[in-house]
Amino acid sequence: MRDHRRDGDTTGRSRASRWFVHAVVVAVLAAVVSCTRLGGVGDSHERFFFGTLQTSSRTAGADEARGMRVAHMTVYWDRFEPAPGQVDQRYVAALKRKLRMFRDAGLHVEAGVGLNSPPPWLSARYPQDAFTDQGGARFTSSPNLVFSQEIRNAAEDYLRRLDQEIGLGSFWALRVGVNGTGEFTYPPPARSNGGAVSYWAFDRHAQASGADPGRPATVPPNPYPGWRPGQTTYRGAPFTAGQVSRWYGWYLAALADAVNWQTGQYEALGYHGLLLVLIPGGGFYPSDLSEAVRHHLGATAAGGLVSRGAGFFRTIGLIQHRRTVQLVSTALVDGSGTPRNNACRPEDRAVTPDAPTPAAEARARTWSSVRWIARIAAREGFAVSGESAGPHVAAYYPGVMSDAARQLKSCGLTGLMWAFDHNLYDGTPGSSLGDYASVIAKLQRGAAP
């Protein structure tokens, strides 16, 4: 699914200074990524990296011959570790074969390591640690890496075994996220409450007040345990907008902590490749959050996105800067924006994402998803690459790859992963292998797409 602090500068001089610093930071990050991303495989003249999602080992050679340098593969935790501490060696052998085929074809490999595909025994062993919303609905399709230290411990053990069996250093990049699709949001609203809003902070550890050994030490205690979104009072007194904002800030910080924990784990295991934090869609905007706070986080027009924590103008700034952390907009050519799939423009830098004027926010709402995310990433000093959203999100059409290429180039992205590999071969409109090869060749030589 591709859904979706700092004060503004007070003088023109400070604003110009700020943008100079951000430009330098992004340039340095881009240089690091350029040196890291293709190792000895890519030629030095290649400006961007290109690849596909769900890459097939059968087409890897043809992909590489047409200019792609990155393959994507997924590891599934439930298949790797079907029982606690028990590794399926046949699955490990299959993973090694696939990895070898990609590398023999001359491709670097970007991996989803499967933290979003937990084995059934995990929720059976820790039934009270599952994501739980304010209505009591549970979500077990992705593990509760936010509020449960026991779940993090199990995930840490899994990553260590995966490193021992496969070697994380075999991968050029690792994908980082929290929800069931491995992206940087909480799970979607539960169907049991009509799919309106689900705030996933009501398991026993999220609700514990004060010290709790079952909650990660880096996640502060709930500032208002027992309060539920929509309630206007707390312990017999009015619950103010300031208190709502404080609770929600805690909720967002806990989400970001799960991402920072992951990147820290990979670093502790000695991994030196790219760590790709996946940003789905554009999320909600500052005025949406203001409205939600006025309604005590009850149901509003953007309430579903607010409950998912998809306020990227707030959460991206909470991601810890590490040398190899990069953002990925997973929403290129997702049909967003007016006109749809519009590209970035130099004047975008005048918009302050977390505190825009009403006119500036109205203008930003006409931007495509990747345009909004690129603006936030630049402000926070992160390099960013992109993925097409996929035809299941927005149907592909003749010229769709050129539109994606314009977004990539204008927004300063470092590369593109096309969704999906099979769409290069199955007759999907505008998504042929020849279309992609043409776009790759143009961008690598600096021509307009």
User: Count of CB atoms within 10 A of residue 214's CB?
Assistant: 16
Cα separation values, 225 from 207, 221, 237, 250, 308, Å: 5, 8, 14, 12, 19
Do β-strands 325-332 and 233-234 pair in parallel, antiparallel, or remain unpaired? unpaired
In one letter, which amino acid is 213? P
409-439 burial: b if 16+ Cβ within 10 Å, else e: bbbebbbbbbbbbebbeeebebbbbebbbbb
Distances (CA, A) of 256 to 179, 219, 400: 12, 10, 33
Which pLDDT score is estimated for 12? 38
Full 3-state SS string of 204-260: HHHHCCCCCCCCCCCCCCCCCCCCCCCCCEECCEECCHHHHHHHHHHHHHHHHHHHH
Question: Measured between alpha carbons, how far is 285 from 96 in angstroms, rounded to an integer?
Answer: 43
Handedness of CA 156, 160, 161, 167 (dihedral sign): positive
DSSP state of 331: E
> Residue 136, by phi and psi: left (phi above 0), alpha (psi -120 to 50) or beta?
left
Contacts of 66 (CB under 8 A, 6+ apart): 433, 436, 437, 440
pLDDT per position in the chain (449 positions), as tens?
A: 444 433 333 333 333 344 444 444 444 444 444 444 444 434 556 899 999 999 999 999 999 999 999 999 999 999 999 999 999 999 999 999 999 999 999 999 999 999 999 999 999 999 999 999 999 999 999 999 999 999 999 999 999 999 999 999 999 999 999 999 999 999 999 988 777 999 999 999 999 988 899 999 999 999 999 999 999 999 999 999 999 999 999 999 999 999 999 999 999 999 999 999 999 999 999 999 999 999 999 999 999 999 999 999 999 999 999 999 999 999 999 999 999 999 999 999 999 999 999 999 999 999 999 999 999 999 999 999 999 999 999 999 999 999 999 999 999 999 999 999 999 999 999 999 999 999 999 999 999 88
Residue 449 has what pLDDT?
87
3-state secondary structure of 416: strand
The structure's pTM equals 0.91
pLDDT at residue 55 in the model: 98
- Dihedral (CA of 317, 115, 307, 335) sign: positive
